[in-house]
Amino acid sequence: MGSWKNLSKEELSSYKQELEKKYEEIKNLGMSLNMSRGKPSPDVLDFSNGLLGALENYHTKDGTDVRNYGVTTGIPECKELFSGLLDILEDRLIVGGNASLSHMYNIYSILYLFGPPGFEPWSKLPKVKFLCPVPGYDRHFAVSEDFGTEMVNVPMTENGPDMDVVEELVKNDDSIKGIWCVPLYSNPEGVVYNDETVRRLAQMETAAPDFRIFWDNAYGVHHIYDEYKIADIMKLADEAGHPDRVYYFFSTSKVTFPGGGVGLFASGEANIKQMKAHIGKQTIGYDKITQLRTVNFFKTPDGIREHMKKLGAVLRPKFDLVLDKLEEEFAGTDLLTWVTPKGGYFISIDTMDGCAKEIIAMAKEAGATLTGAGATFPYKKDPNDKNIRIAPTYPGLDELEKTMDLLSVCIKLVSIDKLLK
Ligand code: PLP
């Protein structure tokens, strides 16, 4: 269709009339579609049903009865499974409750209350700032906001956060204590951090000696197209003399069941020692039954990789549908840009400046709920009001197609209004 900015007022107005008619038609269908959050669909959950019965034994290989109290850092076979899957040393790994987000929150609060090992509690400092690559994951930003951390936006590139910006900031400001990272198939753009980015994060000079990287590898095995692998940040940080710089997170929320899986974190020796001491006071043992079931169900890291191939095969046509639709409706126009995700759970689109909120409101009025505008930015403030996160994992293909048709109409209508002004 070419650039819309070159269309005459008459052309735009006539196109607007056509689109308004289409919008009313869709609205009259009385649809109720929800594409607001990245959840697995019921058919994907079904692939893990075997996990529910995978408890032929109650005892771990070291004789622990998983039905009872005890073991706060993960049963040995579960640690072995994830150590093998993620290339993390077992003694640096704690396998705990299902939600990696609650491990992040817990560590964050311990840093605020007690301080990183050998350092002052962050709550005692006049100011604490965190770098937030944008667009990013709303729940990370919500954790920082909860503690009153000042969030600093850092632009994302196709290779991860803009490292020139990151390095410049952390080198000169000792109140910058950390950064949120989703290194593989970032939420929401599906970006893969390249080796250079990972190396620079591990090695960079920081004014704060207790600088921390929250390395949320939530989509670490969630391939949809090619299988990408990121560099080993824990090893690189060790080699650079920063063994405690990184907290690494992962969970099986989107491998098996959200809320019914296992979550884990890993870090340097001093951090793990500190966390073990606190966890020992927080619980007498996490859900070891789910840990053992997970091991029985998958057996080996390759078992998990094979399982993820099945999930990827369900997600691929959904991602293809959204991306084809975007291409069909918007390629060559100046209404929309998007990053083609390399994997993960989301597709991120950028409208013309100042349009996202209105597009989402229009879609909602016609029956489709999308992730709220601004959600991908700290404080829910998208400075250009242009980013929209599309979450195609839950709806079926038919529903997805209807939502994308409606979304396309809304994007065009709001953009025309903007252009006519
Ligand atoms: N991290 C990222 C980047 C996510 O996208 C999500 C869920 O969407 C989570 C963490 C939540 O993980 P969990 O269920 O392990 O808390």
How is residue 90 written in tokens? 């077992």
The pLDDT value given to residue 2: 81
State residue 56's pLDDT score: 85
Name the residue among 348, 349, 351, 358 with its Cα closest to residue 334: 351
pTM: predicted TM-score of the whole model, two decimal places:
0.97
pLDDT reported for residue 228: 97
Ligand 1 within 6 A of 408 CB? no
Counting from 1 in the atom list of ligand 1, the atom nearest the Cα of 250 is 15
Q: Residue 183: which residues within 8 A CB-CB, separation 6 or more?
A: 160, 192, 193, 198, 215, 216, 217, 230, 233
- Pull the structure tokens for residue 405: 């048709």
Topology of domain 4-44+305-420 in CATH is: Aspartate Aminotransferase, domain 1 (3.90.1150)
**What is the predicted pLDDT for the residue at 314?**
97
Question: β-strand 347-351 against 176-181: which pairing, if any?
Answer: unpaired
Could you read off the pLDDT tens digit of each residue along the chain, which spans 421 residues? 688 988 999 999 999 999 999 999 999 999 998 898 899 999 999 999 999 998 988 999 999 999 999 999 999 999 999 999 999 999 999 999 999 999 999 999 999 999 999 999 999 999 999 999 999 999 999 999 999 999 999 999 999 999 999 999 999 999 999 999 999 999 999 999 999 999 999 999 999 999 999 999 999 999 999 999 999 999 999 999 999 999 999 999 999 999 999 999 999 999 999 999 999 999 999 999 999 999 999 999 999 999 999 999 999 999 999 999 999 999 999 999 999 999 999 999 999 999 999 999 999 999 999 999 999 999 999 999 999 999 999 999 999 999 999 999 999 999 999 999 8
Quick check: CB of 187 below 6 Å from ligand 1? Answer: yes
User: Per-domain residue ranges for the chain?
Assistant: 4-44+305-420, 58-299
Quick one: pLDDT at residue 1? 63
For the Cβ of 217 lying below 6 angstroms from any atom of ligand 1, the answer is: no
Residue nearest to atom 5 of ligand 1 (CA): 187
Considering the domain 58-299, what is its CATH architecture? 3-Layer(aba) Sandwich (3.40)
Helices 288-298 and 76-86: angle between axes, nearest 10 degrees: 50
Distance 164 CA to ligand 1 centre (A): 27
| Alpha carbon nearest to ligand 1 atom 4, residue | 218
Cα-based angle 198, 199, 205 (whole degrees, multiple of 5): 110
The pair of three-digit structure tokens given for residue 97, joined into one six-digit string: 């409750």
Cβ(137) – ligand 1 distance below 6 Å? yes
262 lines ligand 1 (CB under 6 A): no
